[in-house]
Amino acid sequence: MTAREWLILATLPGLGPRRLAQLIEAAPAWPDGWLAAMPEPARSHLRLWLDHPARSPLQAQLDAALDWEAAADRHHLLTPAHDDWPALLAQIPDPPPVLWASGDLDALVPPGLAIVGSRRPSRDGLQNAQRFGRELAEQDWCVISGMALGIDGAAQQAALDAGGRSVAVLGCGVDVIYPQRHRQLYARLRDEGGLLLAEHPPGTGAHPAFFPRRNRIVTGLSQGVLVVEAAEKSGSLVSARLATEQNREVFAVPGSIHNPQARGCLALIRDGAAMATCVEDILAELGHWVAPSQALPSAAAGEQDPLLAWLSDRPTPLDALVALSGHEVSDCQLRLLELELEGLVTQAVGGWIRLPR
């Protein structure tokens, strides 16, 4: 499907990301198969656009989107048809059909870690967020978060200060600065090698209902999630739950039992999250995500195999491996078969996993 078709699908009424993902999995033919599988009123709106685009209100939305993209070099409309569409989003059950992007798309290239936490952190929590953000950037990791006050913004600011990459997923239009106190951080993310993303069209104001939805994209773009500081009932714990559902690694920074802002992290550790006291704790678990070389070596290369390096004990779909490695489907399938015969990988529900040695 083309970018224009994805943009039209994103504007159809009554067709949310989860239902759209189910249709994509069924792989209907365009457009008749899609029309047959769609519920009303999405079917009627799509048929009108296909038969009489000038009479369809969808055409005006499509034209506005394309005009916005053409208005500035840093404006991008990302869809699954785009070369820079994040492959990891294919692993979540409700990926957005389009992402409005402002900034540098190269920020999507390094492996990413989401850093989330309290909007009212303690001094220790703020310093920990800055330390992890800076040290991850120094290790060529991208810090992903929501540009919120407190932990999120501190980690992203530190990553940029270290000359690294950071991606902010907004709960509003990509041209809307929220919160206003982060106006300077917004400008830095847009202009200094970072990236701003939103699933809502430009001009969309911030709304409480948008932020929980935004969190699934923050975690979906990431190889893992670090909760630096969180109370027992916190939005950061929602992000940790989403990460678990998306088969992402969850890390938590421990804190004092007397600090209310640490109780959420302590509960996560109690329930199985990995404890992180330094960036090495994270890289020890996620080091296999460091980008491998571009050549696929022979089976004898064993642990140095770049395709093997993308795998962990959590299933990774074949299409994600193709996108991550940059190789053809047939090459990846052949190499996976060789690795399976060596006893290094196996196929499981949801994709391929790496076997312990």
Same domain, 259 and 196: yes
What pLDDT, on the 0 to 100 scale, is given for residue 332?
86
Q: Is 8 left (phi over 0), alpha (psi -120 to 50) or beta?
A: alpha
pLDDT tens for residues 341-353? 888 899 887 788 8
Q: What is the DSSP string of 229-243?
A: S--SS-HHHHHHHHH
- Report yes or no: 61 and 67 within 8 Å, Cβ to Cβ: no
Same domain, 246 and 299: no
Distance separating alpha carbons of residues 57 and 54, to the nearest angstrom: 8
Same domain, 214 and 114: yes
Closest to 17 measured CA to CA, from 213, 208, 170, 202: 213
pLDDT tens for residues 95-150? 999 999 999 999 999 999 999 999 999 999 999 999 999 999 999 999 999 999 99
Same domain, 153 and 272: yes
Same domain, 159 and 169: yes
- Report yes or no: 216 and 92 within 8 Å, Cβ to Cβ: yes
Of the residues 265, 288, 311, which one is the last residue of a structural domain? 288
What pLDDT, on the 0 to 100 scale, is given for residue 128?
97
What pLDDT, on the 0 to 100 scale, is given for residue 304?
52
What pLDDT, on the 0 to 100 scale, is given for residue 235?
86
- Report yes or no: 172 and 100 within 8 Å, Cβ to Cβ: no
Which pair of structure tokens corresponds to residue 134?
């800076």
What is the Cα 117 distance to its own chain's centre? 17
Of the residues 260, 288, 316, which one is the last residue of a structural domain? 288
Per-residue pLDDT averaged across 331-347, rounded? Answer: 86
**Partners of residue 100 on adjacent β-strands:** 77, 198
Same domain, 217 and 321: no
Same domain, 184 and 301: no
Residue 162 has pLDDT above 90, yes or no: yes
Closest to 102 measured CA to CA, from 183, 218, 189: 189
Of 33-42, 127-136, 188-197, 311-320, give the lowest mean pLDDT range.
311-320
Residue 291: pLDDT band by 50, 70, 90 thresholds? Answer: very low
DSSP letter (8 states) at residue 325: H
Number of domain units in the chain? 3
Report pTM. Answer: 0.81
What pLDDT, on the 0 to 100 scale, is given for residue 252?
97
What pLDDT, on the 0 to 100 scale, is given for residue 317?
80
Distance separating alpha carbons of residues 109 and 259, to the nearest angstrom: 37
What pLDDT, on the 0 to 100 scale, is given for residue 109?
93
What pLDDT, on the 0 to 100 scale, is given for residue 290?
57
Same domain, 148 and 220: yes
What is the Cα 14 distance to its own chain's centre? 24
pLDDT tens for residues 12-45? 998 999 999 999 888 899 999 999 999 999 999 9
Q: Is the peptide bond before 39 cis (omega within 30 degrees of 0)?
A: no
Of the residues 70, 103, 136, which one is the last residue of a structural domain? 103
Distance separating alpha carbons of residues 323 and 88, to the nearest angstrom: 9
Same domain, 284 and 323: no
Same domain, 323 and 245: no
pLDDT tens for residues 64-84? 999 999 999 999 999 999 999
Residue 301: pLDDT band by 50, 70, 90 thresholds? Answer: very low
What pLDDT, on the 0 to 100 scale, is given for residue 234?
86
Residues 6+ apart with CB under 8 A from 208: none
Q: The domain that contains 216 carries what CATH number?
A: 3.40.50.450
Residue 289 has pLDDT above 70, yes or no: no
What pLDDT, on the 0 to 100 scale, is given for residue 297?
37
Domain range holding 329?
Answer: 292-354
Same domain, 112 and 240: yes
Name the residue with tokens 């088969």. 247
What pLDDT, on the 0 to 100 scale, is given for residue 302?
39
Of 161-170, 221-230, 254-263, 329-338, give the lowest mean pLDDT range.
329-338
Mean pLDDT over each residue of the chain, to the nearest integer:
90
Same domain, 137 and 271: yes
